Copies of this chain bind each other. A is one copy, B any other.
Amino acid sequence: MRLHSPVVLPCDADCSVLRDAVVDVADDGRIAYCGPRADAPAFSGPSHELTGVLLPGLVNTHAHSPMTVLRGLGSDLPLLRWLREAMWPAEAKMTARDVGAGMLLGAVEMLRNGVTTSAEMYFHGEQLVESVLAAGSRVVFGAAILDLPGTPWRPMADEISAWIDADGLRSGPHERIELGYGPHSAYVLSPETLAEIAGEARSRGALFQVHVAESLDEDVAQRASHGSVPRLLESSGVLGGRVLSAHSVHLSEEDVAIYARHGVGVAHCPGSNGKLASGIAPLRALLDAGVHVGLGTDGPASGDDLDLLEEARLAALYSRLSTMDASSLGAASALLLATRGGAAALGRDDVGALEPGRWADLVHVDADDPAFATGLDAPDEQVLANLVWAAGARRVTDVWVAGERVVAGGESTRVDRRAAQAAVGEVSARLRAS
């Protein structure tokens, strides 16, 4: 398949803007060529003429998407009360089927917003993965691991280890599924437990996803006992493999240096961090230190619209406000966080950019919108600004995963969206009533 578009954004390190360019997709679902049409190799397969902006599928580095069934609950509570009073009691009642229903709608919704890959920390992984496969997106699943009275951590860790050993780290059509570990946080798990889980992840090359320094309460508690969460992770031997530190709001300069030293990826979640009054992560400092940073919506009960391009805008707004510097994060840098940066934060080099060999996960943003009225022929910087600041996800019309069109005309080609909404409605009503 060949896609031809007036503007193609490969999301290379410079955030180039290619004009009159094509993306060729090989039969195996990977990109064969991305560049100017004039330089493209001969091509004989089916060809599609697009009229807007073509870019890589967005990479959501931190989500709990099955929480679509809890969306709108406890909207004005701070993090720890929101967890304890609204989320955890409801989640305790969720069945595997509920998780599947929530994930199906979440995946469909994200695809419509241009998100083709999401890192999901949640439980009932089998049903979650099944829904991802049904929707046609990609997931980096981090099996949630807690340690609570009556819910010890070891069986949860053993279960995901056995699953990885059985199915392999990546599986499913076009490797849509990656399995890994999702130990909740250093305030729910001991340093020793975190280290044991990290060892299991490292030996399998799997991603270790963990919440770090999200709220000030958590940060204060951890600083009192261990200096900081990154120091705790380092001194416990957790760092070294593929580690994704979600949120990472309350980091010191030393914490940032620890992350840079160990190649830790960060999932920056500005929307959720604002809604729950958690704070503003030191994005500029992380990027300046060379840390790989991606963006996360967090779950739809705190990052309600699952819109990663809104997170990109928020990342730029927060960065500009916290540094009082309007050049602190431009449209190009914000877009790279949502694509290439996200892939790097997850330790993945096969998504997040339009380069030969990577999966042909693609998003087409229609230019028939006031957002682009100043013209696709405007200077590069203006087109990028129009995409990020004005168009956003609203005008995503078509999305491909491994070359398969999974969204056409803004709707899923695989899932009956209304049926998925109705299923979530039923779960939500039952959780309210019980």
The residues of A with any CB-CB pair to B shorter than 8 Å are: 68-73, 75-79, 82, 105, 108-109, 216, 271, 273-277, 279-280, 300, 304-306, 310, 314, 316-318, 320-321, 323-328, 330-331, 368-375, 377-379, 381-383, 385-386, 389-392, 394, 417-418, 420-422, 424-425, 428-429, 432
Contact = CB atoms under 8 A, between A and B. Distances in A.
Contacts of A276: 320, 326
A275 B72 CA distance: 28
A321 B277 contact: yes
Contacts of A105: 370, 373
Nearest to A381: B75
A87 B330 CA distance: 18
Contacts of A279: 321, 324
Nearest to A330: B76
A255 to B, nearest CB: 20
Nearest to A382: B72
A71 to B, nearest CB: 5
Contacts of A306: 370
- The count of identical subunits is 2
B72 A378 contact: yes
A105 B373 CA distance: 9
A389 B301 CA distance: 9
Contacts of A275: 316-317, 320, 326, 389
B323 A277 contact: yes
A277 B375 contact: no
B373 A68 contact: yes
Most chain B CB neighbours (cut-off 10 Å) among A72, A76, A425 = A72
B274 A317 contact: yes
Contacts of A418: 368
A274 to B, nearest CB: 3
A390 B318 CA distance: 20
Nearest to A329: B76
A228 B422 CA distance: 55
Contacts of A373: 68, 71, 105, 420-422, 424-425, 428
Nearest to A101: B373
24 contacts: A68-B373, A69-B374, A71-B386, A72-B389, A73-B382, A75-B330, A75-B389, A78-B327, A79-B326, A105-B370, A105-B373, A271-B317, A274-B316, A274-B318, A274-B320, A275-B320, A275-B389, A276-B320, A277-B326, A304-B371, A304-B390, A305-B392, A373-B422, A375-B429
